[in-house]
Chains A and B, each alone.
Chain A
Amino acid sequence: GIQVEQSPPDLILQEGANSTLRCNFSDSVNNLQWFHQNPWGQLINLFYIPSGTKQNGRLSATTVATERYSLLYISSSQTTDSGVYFCAPHSGGGADGLTFGKGTHLIIQP
């Protein structure tokens, strides 16, 4: 199956800082989602982005499907951004679920 690698595994930043999270995947995809898992365990949809660039407030994401990577940008970080960020591509061509990376654990300090 598809392999997913996220970097960095851990990131500690001060409030107001910007960050870039990276997701590399080993196969072509027809679906890719970014999620934020908050400290209470909820998985929150951030982006559905199989290709191209999208923006939502302080967050934006870019997927370059031909080069098999996706980036999540967080600007002007807030303490509520803390948690784990997961990239989850779906390779399509058959029936299966999303494949999750190990995530980036982000801590925003006040």
Chain B
Amino acid sequence: DSGVTQTPKHLITATGQRVTLRCSPRSGDLSVYWYQQSLDQGLQFLIQYYNGEERAKGNILERFSAQQFPDLHSELNLSSLELGDSALYFCASSVAPDTYEQYFGPGTRLTVT
């Protein structure tokens, strides 16, 4: 158990819908990262937050957004869902950005039908 929690574990929804994925980092970690794992793209970095502020963006679509709250939990919002958004979404956390080890949560498996 990495100490990073994600909910829900599984999510099935229809095209065009909007969903919210939730992540709680390890105790003491200030930095949160979101990653997407799909058959087409592999594992790719989406976005990073540090102590409530957005710090970096990767290959995140404009239909996706995220935020980190004062209690340091984070939410990833996916809207206007398409079939191609079906993937495993991971949250990771670290003490601080850049050089620190990242620990991954169990992931949320999203299926868009």
Interface residue ranges, A against B (CB under 8 Å): 30-31, 33, 35, 41-45, 48, 50, 86, 88, 90, 92, 94-100, 102-103
- Chain A hits for B45, CB < 8 A: 96-99
Quick one: which of B67-113 are within 8 Å of A by CB? 88, 90, 92, 97-104, 106-107, 109
Contact residue among A33, A43, A97 (Cβ-Cβ distance under 8 Å from B101): A33
Inter-chain CB contacts under 8 Å: number:
62
- Chain B hits for A42, CB < 8 A: 104, 106-107
The reply to whether A30 and B99 contact each other, CB–CB distance below 8 Å, is: yes
Name the interface size band of chain B.
Answer: 20 to 34
Q: Determine the main DSSP class of A at the interface with B.
A: loop
Quick one: which of B38-61 are within 8 Å of A by CB? 42-46, 48, 55-56, 58
- Chain A hits for B43, CB < 8 A: 86, 88, 100
CA distance A92 to B97 in the complex (A): 9
Contact residue among A30, A43, A45 (Cβ-Cβ distance under 8 Å from B98): A30
The closest CB in chain B to the CB of A29 belongs to B99
In the assembled complex, 30 residue pairs joining A and B whose CB atoms fall closer than 8 Å, in A order, are A30-B98, A30-B99, A31-B99, A33-B101, A33-B102, A41-B88, A41-B106, A41-B107, A41-B109, A42-B107, A43-B107, A45-B103, A86-B43, A88-B43, A90-B99, A92-B98, A95-B56, A95-B97, A95-B98, A96-B45, A96-B48, A96-B56, A96-B58, A97-B33, A97-B48, A97-B58, A98-B33, A98-B45, A100-B42, A100-B43
